[in-house]
Amino acid sequence: LTKVRYPHLKRGQYAEISEKHIQMFERIVSKNQILTDPSDVEPYNIDWLKMVCGYSSVVLKPRNTEEVSEILKFCNDENIAVCPQGGRTGVVGGSVPVFDEVIVSTQLMNKIISIDPITGVLICQAGCVLENLDSALNEKGLTMPLDLGAKGSCHIGGNVSTNAGGIRYLRYGSLHGNVLGIEAVKADGKILDCLGTMKKDNTGYHLKNLFIGSEGTLGLVTKVAIKCPPKPKAVNVAFIGLESFENILSVFQLAKSELAEVLSAFEMMDAPSMHSVVDVYHVKSPVEKCPFYALIETSGSNASHDEEKLTSFLEKGMAEGLIIDGTVTGEPSRMLNLWQLREGIPEAILHSKENCYVYKYDISLPPQQFYQIVDECKKRLEGKNYSLCCGYGHVGDCNLHLNVSIPEYSPEITNILEPFVFEWTAHYGGSISAEHGIGFKKTQYLHLSKTAESIEVMRQLKQVFDPKGILNPYKVLPDV
């Protein structure tokens, strides 16, 4: 790993890790909770996309809040920079060190503390893997209000710290609403217990909300209390092919009125996105080839009622000429296959060509402009060496994932796409990061979605929670 990878950025004046520091860490946690062998540490330095990497020499794996508190207190006293890390599935470079920050991983903080069958409130440690939480809840007739393609690896602490959206957002809304309480450790090691479990609590400032989406820059989240809905008794999935993006919008309108309370997800993908999954995983498309596709899910309590609604909705869509082809199923393994066509897109794009470089834009846009940006980018890339320019995402929440893949990193292509995509998005009143956060990669564009006054207040908050700036430096806030 090369040490000079970000020439525009200077390492902050933090202490360098010495043997004395390691000895102190060994007093806080046991030896098997510390990694220092370079080959053991290396994977923790590299992000999921393999596009950003740090050169930290130590990974600490605390088991509980007290250990986190002692680690952070020591790091703060010694001026050691820290990178909080969950499942390392973040896509904006927030989860790995930039330089040699100590990695504090929540991997061993994976205990479920309680599940209340009456209120549906789950309390757990931050390192629980999302999918494991869902399985444990399922046994009690409950489910997580959050689901995303990285569910098998991401931690709930990472989800909360990025305010992850995902495919159930349409039904259950943001983590700001579903997370009832948080326990976090501030940079100085003080434990902030905001682990309330009440749905209603208007007692002063909503401190827990500050940690939701702060990407490890204000504190390390150690426990979460989250409100979980009943697991729907009946789930159905429809996968449809359409002629145009306008038709996706019309079908979404139709779905809202016809499926109403049972509509639980509405996702879209264009042909290049979908075909990358079909090609990479050698699966068969369930519908005939079309320029656009949508996946529609219903979740309710009465299977025949929901099926009847879904069938009548599809018939209307076809009669109006909006839907070209479609398939519908309530059979679990077939539903999983249909979901794989959507959830498998990020990984398929990454693996469609060896060593390719993928630009990922995660933007919110008004419906009228939602897909236009994909065509704008294609126009700008005309004649250039690119493999794929595609759009997919949570259209029901106005959240587009625009991905551009090229055979290898090219500054020329970067200059074609950036700042264009961000400025275009801001011009139409969109958000330059709908759900992935700012991390390391997007700090210089924060001003396009936040006013100078807002950024100033963000800096003041950072000063209150982390005056020495040891927590996830170089992330979220732009360089001054």
Question: Cα(8)–Cα(426) distance, rounded to whole angstroms?
Answer: 25
CB of 402 to ligand 2HG, least distance (A): 8
First to last CA, the chain: 27
Give me Rg for the CA atoms of the chain: 23
Residue 194 φ/ψ, nearest 5 degrees: -115, 40
Question: Cα(247)–Cα(407) distance, rounded to whole angstroms?
Answer: 33
Residue 165 φ/ψ, nearest 5 degrees: -95, -90
Partner from ligand FAD, ligand 2HG, none binding residue 300, C-beta < 5-8 Å depending on class: none
Q: Are strands 82-85 and 102-105 parallel, antiparallel or unpaired?
A: parallel
Q: Contact, 332 vs 232, CB < 8 A?
A: no
Closer to ligand FAD at the Cβ: 84 or 272? 84
CB of 437 to ligand FAD, least distance (A): 6
Of the residues 54, 94, 120, 300, which one makes contact with ligand FAD according to CB under 6 A: 94
If one asks whether residue 148 binds ligand FAD (CB under 6 A), the answer comes out as yes
Closer to ligand FAD at the Cβ: 91 or 274? 91
Q: Are strands 59-60 and 102-105 parallel, antiparallel or unpaired?
A: parallel
If one asks whether residue 106 binds ligand FAD (CB under 6 A), the answer comes out as yes
If one asks whether residue 181 binds ligand FAD (CB under 6 A), the answer comes out as no
User: 3-class DSSP state for residue 13?
Assistant: coil
Closer to ligand 2HG at the Cβ: 66 or 347? 347
If one asks whether residue 391 binds ligand FAD (CB under 6 A), the answer comes out as no
Contact residues: ligand 2HG, CB under 6 A: 91, 149, 345-346, 360, 362, 393, 401, 403
Of the residues 76, 159, 276, 369, which one makes contact with ligand FAD according to CB under 6 A: 159
Task: Provide the 10 A C-beta neighbour count for residue 71.
Answer: 23
CB of 403 to ligand 2HG, least distance (A): 5
Partner from ligand FAD, ligand 2HG, none binding residue 216, C-beta < 5-8 Å depending on class: ligand FAD
* Site track for ligand FAD across 299-338, x = CB under 6 A: ----------------------------------------
Q: Find out whether the peptide bond into 419 is cis, omega within 30 degrees of 0.
A: yes
Closer to ligand 2HG at the Cβ: 171 or 401? 401
Interface stretch with ligand FAD, choices 154-162, 192-200, 242-250, 260-268 (CB under 6 A): 154-162
If one asks whether residue 441 binds ligand FAD (CB under 6 A), the answer comes out as no
Closer to ligand FAD at the Cβ: 221 or 248? 221
State how far Cα 65 lies from the chain centre.
Answer: 24
Partner from ligand FAD, ligand 2HG, none binding residue 273, C-beta < 5-8 Å depending on class: none
Q: Contact, 268 vs 351, CB < 8 A?
A: no
CB of 288 to ligand 2HG, least distance (A): 24
Of the residues 97, 165, 396, 469, which one makes contact with ligand FAD according to CB under 6 A: 165
Partner from ligand 2HG, ligand FAD, none binding residue 155, C-beta < 5-8 Å depending on class: ligand FAD
Instruction: Give the residue among 191, 210, 288, 198 at the shortest CA–CA distance from 243.
Output: 288
Restricted to residues 206-225, the positions that interact with ligand FAD (CB under 6 A) are 215-216, 220-221
Question: Cα(178)–Cα(121) distance, rounded to whole angstroms?
Answer: 10
Closer to ligand 2HG at the Cβ: 55 or 422? 422
Partner from ligand 2HG, ligand FAD, none binding residue 401, C-beta < 5-8 Å depending on class: ligand 2HG
Residues 6+ apart with CB under 8 A from 380: 416, 417, 420
Closer to ligand 2HG at the Cβ: 272 or 469? 272
* Cα dihedral 232, 234, 240, 244 in deg (nearest 10): -40
Partner from ligand 2HG, ligand FAD, none binding residue 215, C-beta < 5-8 Å depending on class: ligand FAD
Instruction: Give the residue among 95, 86, 92 at the shortest CA–CA distance from 124.
Output: 86
DSSP annotation of 448: G
If one asks whether residue 435 binds ligand FAD (CB under 6 A), the answer comes out as yes
CB of 271 to ligand 2HG, least distance (A): 17
> Cα dihedral sign for 444, 432, 208, 221?
negative
The torsion region of residue 120 among left (phi > 0), alpha (psi -120 to 50) and beta comes to left
> Cα dihedral sign for 403, 433, 91, 12?
positive
CB of 85 to ligand 2HG, least distance (A): 19
Characterize 316-344 residue by residue with b for buried, 16 or more Cβ atoms within 10 angstroms of its Cβ, and e for exposed: ebeeeebbbbbebbeeeeebebbbebbbb
* Cα dihedral 113, 188, 445, 249 in deg (nearest 10): 20
State how far Cα 269 lies from the chain centre.
Answer: 18
* Site track for ligand FAD across 70-89, x = CB under 6 A: -------------xxxxxxx
If one asks whether residue 158 binds ligand FAD (CB under 6 A), the answer comes out as yes
Q: Which residues pair with 292 in a beta bridge?
A: 242, 270
Restricted to residues 218-277, the positions that interact with ligand FAD (CB under 6 A) are 220-221
Q: Given the rule CB under 6 A, which residues bind ligand FAD?
A: 48, 83-91, 94-95, 106, 126, 148-150, 154-155, 157-159, 161-162, 164-166, 215-216, 220-221, 346-347, 435-436, 439, 472, 475
